[in-house]
Amino acid sequence: MVDIVEYNVLEHELVPEHYLATEEEADKVLKSMKITKDQLPKIRRGDACIKVLENIYGPIQEGRIVKIVRRSPTAETFIAYRLVIRG
């Protein structure tokens, strides 16, 4: 029998921070960017980061928006948003 070790990919230094955006935050961001949800880049429900977020927030449905915070010495802080899709 093989022991399965669960690994939190969000703890890896190369993986940016991921958060589930609230509906209010998502609406505010979409209005400020003057776009619809469908115009956002996509992230699949099967993505390892989404699986970790589901352990924190519970099941994440398609259509929700994930906030990704990237930090670097040159760009400082960059925030991106992704639409959760099937898969």
- Using alpha carbons, select from 24, 33, 17 the residue that is nearest to residue 69: 17
Q: Which residue range(s) make up the domain with 76?
A: 9-85
The answer to whether residue 4 is domain-embedded is no
Residue 85 predicted with pLDDT over 70: yes
Contact 82, 65 (CB under 8 A): yes
Domain assignment present for 3: no
CATH number, position 72: 3.90.940.20
Kindly report the pTM of this predicted structure: 0.88
- The tally of domains found in the chain comes to 1
Instruction: Say if 1 falls within a structural domain.
Output: no
What are the pLDDT digits (tens) for 18-42?
999 999 999 999 999 999 999 999 9
Report residue 87's pLDDT band, with 50, 70 and 90 as the boundaries. Answer: confident
Residue 69 domain flag: yes
